[in-house]
Amino acid sequence: GAGKTTLFDVISGFTPTEAGAVLLAGSEVSGLAPDARARRGLGRSFQDARLFPALTVEEAVAVALERWVEVRDPLSAALHLPSVFDAEEKVRRRVAELLDLLGLGAFRAKFVHELSTGSRRIVDLACVVAHRPTVVLLDEPSSGIAQRETEALAPLLLRIREGLGAAVLVIEHDMPLVTSVADRMVAMDQGRIIAEGDADAVLHHPDVVASYLGTDEAVIARSGASS
């Protein structure tokens, strides 16, 4: 491979760095574990949606909000103190906001295992953005889903970026999806950056055409990515 997922693994702390440094909001996080980087504002999805199949959509998103639960004392919960109800209500409101943001309201009571691959991906997105990350890493969000579901991803990704004010980095092979959401594109080959810039410049870069799209620019047109 080109090294794209490995790069995300390094950024998110699943693969240690051999050289260089990882900076998040100007602070070095190279020595931090993945969960510590998440607390610093890094969100990450994987190629396979890692969800609990026996939970409903609403419950799955609520679990992702666990770090925001304000009252954790089991005695307070057993005594049904007002502070417990207030904390639970805040979680319910945040879940409702996320379901609304990503158009999941109609699926709130459905079990995760009942959903299509595309819908599970969107639930996974809701879980990723639940803790209000400032940087979101998405690893091939369109992989394995139907074309119509891929087409629905673009407005959702833009909504996440605008709604959270977060930087969104996407690994993706679907050129129409990439060009519809990317302000800046980076092409990699065998762990090396071969082109970067706006989408049109990168897609027509000779090294990118040779490595990914073939030697004929008609291939770009067939991909639906040309303007």
pLDDT band (50, 70, 90) for residue 91: confident
Which helix (H) or strand (E) covers residue 37, if one does? helix 34-39
Does position 213 have pLDDT exceeding 90, yes or no? no
Least confidently predicted of 37-46, 69-78, 127-136: 69-78
Does position 22 have pLDDT exceeding 90, yes or no? yes
pLDDT band (50, 70, 90) for residue 134: very high
Does position 58 have pLDDT exceeding 90, yes or no? yes
CB-CB contact of 196 with 221 (8 Å): no
Query: Averaged over 64-88, what is the pLDDT?
Result: 62
pTM for the full predicted model? 0.78
Residue 155 CA: distances (Å) to CA of 33, 49, 83, 161, 182 = 32, 20, 37, 10, 12
Does position 225 have pLDDT exceeding 80, yes or no? no
Q: What is the pLDDT of residues 149-197, one digit of tens each?
A: 888 888 889 988 888 888 999 998 888 898 889 999 999 888 889 999 9
- Position 117 scores a pLDDT of 87
- Position 72 scores a pLDDT of 58
Query: Averaged over 31-40, what is the pLDDT?
Result: 93
- Position 165 scores a pLDDT of 87
CB-CB contact of 120 with 47 (8 Å): no
C-alpha to C-alpha distance for 179 and 172, rounded to whole angstroms: 10
- Position 226 scores a pLDDT of 38
- Position 82 scores a pLDDT of 63
Does position 216 have pLDDT exceeding 80, yes or no? no
CB-CB contact of 51 with 120 (8 Å): yes
Structural fold of domain 4-182: Rossmann fold (3.40.50)
Residue 68 burial (C-beta neighbours within 10 Å; 0-12, 13-18, 19+): middle
R_g over Cα of the chain: 20
pLDDT band (50, 70, 90) for residue 84: low
Percent of the chain with pLDDT over 70: 83
Q: Where are the domains of the chain?
A: 4-182
C-alpha to C-alpha distance for 98 and 126, rounded to whole angstroms: 6
Torsion, Cα 91 95 96 98, to 10 degrees, reads 140
Does position 75 have pLDDT exceeding 60, yes or no? no
C-alpha to C-alpha distance for 92 and 61, rounded to whole angstroms: 10
**Beta strands at 42-44 and 185-189: parallel, antiparallel or unpaired:** unpaired
Higher-pLDDT residue of 80 and 6 is 6
